[in-house]
Amino acid sequence: MSLEVIILAAGQGTRMQSKIPKVLHHVGGKPMLAHVLDCATELSANKIRVVTGFQGQEIRDAIESSAPNYLTSIQWFDQAEQNGTGHAVMQAMPGVDPKADCLVLYGDVPLIDIEVLKNVVQSQSTLTLLTAKPDNIEGMGRILRNERDQVVGIVEQKDATEEQKEIIEINTGILLCKGKQLADWLSKLGNNNSQGEYYLTDIVAMAVADGAAVDAVIAEDASRFAGVNSKQDLAQIERTLQKLNAKSLMAAGVTLVDPDRIDVRGIVKCDQDCSVDINVIFEGEVTIGSDVTIESNCIIRDSVIGDDCHIYANTVIENATLGSRCSVGPFARLRPNTVLENEVRIGNFVEIKKSRLDQGAKANHLSYIGDSTVGKNVNIGAGVITCNYDGANKHQTIIGDDVFVGSDSQIVAPVTIGAGATVGAGSTITRDIEAGDLAISRAKQVAYKNWKRPEKA
């Protein structure tokens, strides 16, 4: 049986107090709608139908600009007037296969538990609801059951009696329905309610009246199906996601000093016996080997870190690759296209960009290395700068194996320093240096006897 997913993403989200469409607000480093699209893709949906309304074109542009794998599967539909969830689903129905299973999801419910959804999708009933029993049921539609515990309807809180408001099982809004029956029931929806809207939930009573099989899957963790309507909700959803991420990392053998103070805004793959201190942020795709120590306040983005590395506090690593037994920081910055081979040492206030440092090289403090190739066992002293930019173009610096670069030196690219060469401290290097040579470029030191400092008048 084919599966077609309908994602409702038309709401304006006025309570967000933002000019950004609600479903484009980020959770875990990417738009809420992108999380839901990922889920639909993981379910192997044959078609993904997204209904937008408020700032619909902006939503489409944002999703399409990221060029995800599921892009070719998306069909976009417009809900010009927001007249309820039933009306929104109607907009996506043209072209739906009558024999397909239709799964309705929401663009502002980003933490969907895929395993629970798989249980919903596997249901053989004509209509299957996903329900939950959260601690806070305020504002939620209540599930109505008969004396045999069968689902017979859903009532929105605004239309519920006082007795019905005491029901703790709520409707998450997510449902699975056969395409033909869904189209038929939607065509019969009315808007005779306190909101004057077409409620998708009204199809439950229609299904019961028609004698159709109605099933309900109860989600054990209601927090995974909570929606976002305000910045407070957004913050709560973010914390829920980070707790899930922390739990997953610890299950993989990672030691977290404080699971409540770590943020994963992407995907992190981490081997055993790693230690992560507080306030570390992972972004994009990060791969970490075993026995790695990451101290507090580090940001690591789209990078690979090898075994036995030590990342000291307040270090930023972006789009870099580290071999084994590297040491970086504190207060270091590795910019994109940095490659550190095994046993490289990068110290405090060192910045590296688009450079490769071979095994055993070290730059322990206060240096900038850009557009460079640095050989094995090179020592770069404090305050060394590779001057790679002439104001218009970038130029390469090549430093051979076993080179010693003295402190406070400037290497003006393009330049090559041969293996085993030495650069005297305080030098400005503008020409190539042969292997094994000593290069010194300094102004002559002059001393003036009996010199007196100026005195303030």
What would the pLDDT profile of 137-170 be if each residue is shown by its tens digit? 988 999 999 999 989 989 988 889 999 999 999 9
Q: What is the pLDDT of residue 191?
A: 87
- pLDDT surpassing 80 at residue 132: yes
Mean pLDDT of 259-271: 96
Mean pLDDT of 233-255: 96
The one catalytic residue in 26, 310, 365, 395 is 365
- pLDDT surpassing 90 at residue 252: yes
Cβ-count burial of 83 within 10 angstroms (0-12 exposed, 13-18 middle, 19+ buried)?
middle
Q: What is the pLDDT of residue 70?
A: 61
- Domain map of the chain by residue range? 3-225, 252-439
Q: What sign does the dihedral 11-16-19-22 (CA atoms) show?
A: negative
pLDDT band for position 31 (cuts 50, 70, 90): very high
Q: What is the pLDDT of residue 68?
A: 63
Q: What is the pLDDT of residue 278?
A: 98
- pLDDT surpassing 70 at residue 446: yes
Percent of the chain with pLDDT over 70: 98
Question: Which residue(s) pair with 275 in the sheet?
Answer: 255, 293
What would the pLDDT profile of 311-334 be if each residue is shown by its tens digit? 999 999 999 999 999 999 999 999
Name the maximum alpha-carbon separation found in the chain. Answer: 110
Are residues 415 and 399 in contact, defined by beta-carbon separation less than 8 angstroms? no
What would the pLDDT profile of 299-309 be if each residue is shown by its tens digit? 999 999 999 99
Q: Is 204 helix (H, G, I), strand (E, B) or coil?
A: helix
Q: What is the pLDDT of residue 156?
A: 87
Q: Which residues contact 266 (CB under 8 A, 6 or more apart)?
A: 28, 29, 30, 282, 283, 284, 285, 286, 302
Are residues 408 and 425 in contact, defined by beta-carbon separation less than 8 angstroms? yes
CA-angle at 84, arms to 105 and 153, nearest 5°: 75
CATH number of the 3-225 domain: 3.90.550.10
Peptide bond into 414 cis (omega under 30): yes
Question: Which residue(s) pair with 365 in the sheet?
Answer: 348
What would the pLDDT profile of 33-57 be if each residue is shown by its tens digit? 999 999 999 999 999 999 999 899 9
Give domain 252-439's CATH architecture.
3 Solenoid (2.160)
Q: What is the pLDDT of residue 66?
A: 76
Q: What is the pLDDT of residue 244?
A: 96
Q: Which residues contact 9 (CB under 8 A, 6 or more apart)?
A: 21, 23, 33, 50, 51, 52, 53, 59, 106, 107, 108
- pLDDT surpassing 80 at residue 194: no
Verify whether residue 365 is a known catalytic residue. yes
